[in-house]
Each structure stands twice: as C-alpha cells, then as structure tokens.
Amino acid sequence: MKYLIVGANGQLGREWKEYLTQHQMPFNAYGSKELDVTDPASVHSTIKEVRPDVLVNCSAYTNVDEAEDEPDLAFAVNRDGVKNLAECCRNTGIKLIHYSTDYVFPGNSEDEKKFPTGYPENASCNPINMYGKSKREGEIALEESKVDYLLIRVAWLCGAHGTNFVKTMLRLSEQREELSVVDDQIGCPTFTFDVVEKSVELIRKGETGTFHLSSKGKISWADFAVEIFKQSGRNTSVNRVTTSEYPTKARRPAFSLLSTQKIEKLGLIPLDWQTGLAVLLKKLKK
C-alpha cells in the first residue's frame, strides 16, 4: 500500500513520515510549499503522478487567533483544499484520510453535563470561531464528495515536532518560576504518535466515516501543565486562572472532550493521558 502525505512538514505530517519510514512503507510526502492544496491543478497533477492507494491530508490552517483576521485564507485551506483533494481521490479511487478538530463543536459548559464522557461523533456541530467554522466546512465538503474517506477528529494535539502546548510549557519553564494557565477549559490531549498508529489500524480494518481519537482522561489546561512539570522534573508552579483572565482574539471552547467509545468498540484502546505524556517527554529528550 502506497501513501501520499500532504501537509508533511507539520507536527502530524512529520509524525506520519517517521512512522512510514520506520515501518518501511512506501510513501511520497509534500509540504505546503511543494503542494498547494488550494490549487486544483496542482493537486490533480501530483495525485496523477504519485498514484497512491491512500492520501493522508495533514495540511491545515491552524492559527486559531489569526483565522479571525484571515478567514478567507483559513477557508481556502481548511474547506477548499479538502474539496480539491476529495474530488481527485474520488475520481481516482484513492482513500482519503482527513483530520479535523474538537473546535467544530460549540464547546459550552452545558455540553459537559450532556456528554460527560465527551462529544460523540454524531453530536451537533456549531463552532464558535472562524477556525472551527473553516474546519467544519471542510468536513462537510468531505462528506458531500462521496469519496472513500476517514474523517478523524483530534483535540489538544501534541507531538515531538512543531509547536504545541507541551513544548511551549517546557520552554517557558526555563524562563519563569510561575506560569498562569487556564483552568476552566476542559478536555484531554491527543498525541501525534498515537494518532498515526490508530489511523493505520483504521485503514487496515477498512473503516470509513468519522472517528474521534484522543487519550483517556478529563482535565484542564492547568492540570496538564502541572503534570508536564511534574514528569519533566521542573520546579515551575502553576497559577490557575479563568478564561476571562486570559483573553484571546478568538473564543475558545470551555469543553473540548472527545468521546472515544466508537474506536474502543473496534479494539483500539486510547492511551491514558499521563502515559501518553511520558512517552512524548521521552521522545523530546532524544
């Protein structure tokens, strides 16, 4: 089985390249500068040349705050790019793997009572910021394309590559003795190595449709920071603050937990979040 990785220089794309290389699986990989997913002609010619069995779309506009000022660019990548990939994959019989986000849900605190184990895959989507809206439009484009697809939603994504919360906390802990971290946004981290491994299993099982991938647990960002410092042996203390005390340009969901019951029924058991963090910290030391 031959893979084509699009958006290959991001944290998830680089994790895919490492996994496929390690397992000696054939693949081609293109970063955003090498393949612009918003250009239908470029997408078509690349897919025609590579002829993969599976296309993994890791390309995305992910700057949540900047999306408020650049909605056209966010929608071009997160909606139109998905549409271009889906149309080409459908016409050539290629399976398309696409990643989305917890931000497609409203994330209000009332939903925590309604979905105590997290949002299920079929929960109503109603994003509260431009990034979430652009990602939801991409999901709709995928669903309407009639392509053979896997739509995989993740939350609080962290890995050894790129920028993420774990790496930011470690960097800041070298500069400060105390950090203020939001304590009223609830969710659970997803680790890139686990995402790739479980994505491959879903592909091998011939699964289609929408799945949620995340770790086991239910924590706040502040809880996450405390555990990062504990496991990494840092002395930085955490000052727990509210969202209102840490204003951002784009609204953030108060509740981001994704239910993993659907993948568990397939025998794909999520990592406990503390275990996932330990694995990631070990990778970062190498």
Could you list the active site residues?
131
Structure tokens, 133: 């809206």
Ordered DSSP codes for 243-270: GGGS--SS---SB--B--HHHHTTT-PP
Give the containing element (helix H, strand E) for 277: helix 273-285
- Rounded CA separation 76/15 (Å): 24
CA-angle at 70, arms to 66 and 76, nearest 5°: 120
Is residue 131 within 8 Å of 139, Cβ to Cβ?
no
Nearest alpha-carbon partner for 152 in 88, 102, 189, 115: 102
